[in-house]
Amino acid sequence: MKKIIVLVLSLIMCAFVFTGCGGTKENSRFVIIDSDVESEDRISSALYADKQTNVVYWFTKSGYGQTMTVLLNSDGTPVLYDFEKEIIIEKDRK
């Protein structure tokens, strides 16, 4: 009986290892529009745009810490991304 339980648990663990996590990049809601990596400090940052809302987010990663925050204009409205023109739309720029 123990052999059967060990076999079943081993098969389940193998299924998790080989399937991985996350979806395909083609179906992702977020698109990387710009990125930067500083290899010495292992700090990376990227700008992401949301395909559904066009809102731009700033993502940073350093070691085990990660953060993602929305970029805002000076009036408090979110910065938007135009997917057709592939440009960031900021109200403050002239």
Q: What does the pLDDT look like over 11-50, one tens digit per residue? A: 676 565 555 555 455 668 899 988 887 666 677 889 999 9
Q: What are 53-91's pLDDT values in tens digits?
A: 999 999 998 888 899 999 999 888 999 998 888 888 877
| pLDDT exceeds cutoff 70 at 93 | no
Closest CA to 61 of 46, 75, 47, 43: 43
Q: What are 70-80's pLDDT values in tens digits?
A: 999 988 899 99
Question: For residue 8, what pLDDT band results from cuts at 50, 70 and 90?
Answer: low
Judge if pTM exceeds 0.85.
no
Instruction: List all residues 6 or more positions away from 63 whose beta carbon is below 8 Å from its beta carbon.
Output: 42
